[in-house]
Amino acid sequence: MDKKSDAKRNLILTNAKKVFIRKGFATVTMKDIIEECGISRGGIYLYFQSVEQIFIHVIESHNQKKIKEARQYISENKSFEQMINEYLDKQKKRLMNLNNSLLIAMYEYRFANRCDNNREFFKAQFMYTKNIILSILNSGFAKNGIDRDTDSLASSIVLLIEGISMLAIAVGVSEDFIDSQIMSIKEMILSKGQ
């Protein structure tokens, strides 16, 4: 693709993300995305054939941004505790403001697409998040000469954050609850035990 095509494709993804954040996944139509982008129906179909295809690309683009941010954390040579605090603060902000997140759309997409051929997509989402946490843990533990099983620790952290996310969507959670869970995650990470 040339630069003009890349710019148009990115415009579609940026605007589609706004629609998915605002409406979730289940009720979004191509018309919604077309109107948000301000381009013709034919213009959008040059790049994407369906709402689902656009959604998958939005998520993949979002994941790449998160990975880039994690690499930046590590490259800035911050202390391990500072990296953990910044990452978990970001998670707290997301949980406190679900209306400005793709989380609800992700769960709607998952429940709308329960067939086996989409499992790889959802496994990849888990791995993206796990790899971000794993990068931070590996970097921090290496700097501090700590030997820990970072793989299972990263999995546990992802599962805890996902559990809090589901609870936040289903019944809502208080800031105090989120703070207590984040404190537990920090204790898990920063404890000296194996």
pLDDT above 80 for 159: yes
pLDDT (0 to 100) of residue 194: 44
**Within-domain flag for 114:** yes
Structure tokens, 52 = 């689902």
Q: Residue 98 sits in a domain of what CATH number?
A: 1.10.357.10
Sign of dihedral through CA atoms 103, 92, 160, 176?
negative
pLDDT tier for residue 192 given thresholds of 50, 70 and 90: low
Cα–Cα dist 137/151, whole Å: 9
**Within-domain flag for 185:** yes
What proportion of the chain, given as a percentage, has pLDDT over 70? 96
**Within-domain flag for 68:** yes
Cα–Cα dist 120/35, whole Å: 31
Helix (H, G, I), strand (E, B) or coil at 49: coil
Tokens 């403001």 -> residue = 97
Cβ neighbours for 109, distance < 8 A, ≥ 6 positions apart: 25, 52, 55
The tally of domains found in the chain comes to: 1
CB atoms within 10 A of CB 8: 18
Domain that holds residue 121: 58-190
**Within-domain flag for 53:** no
**% helix / strand / coil in the chain, to the nearest 5?**
80, 0, 20
- For the entire predicted model, the pTM comes to 0.84
**Within-domain flag for 36:** no
Q: What is the mean pLDDT of the chain?
A: 89
**Within-domain flag for 161:** yes
pLDDT (0 to 100) of residue 8: 92
pLDDT above 70 for 116: no
**Within-domain flag for 76:** yes
pLDDT tier for residue 73 given thresholds of 50, 70 and 90: confident
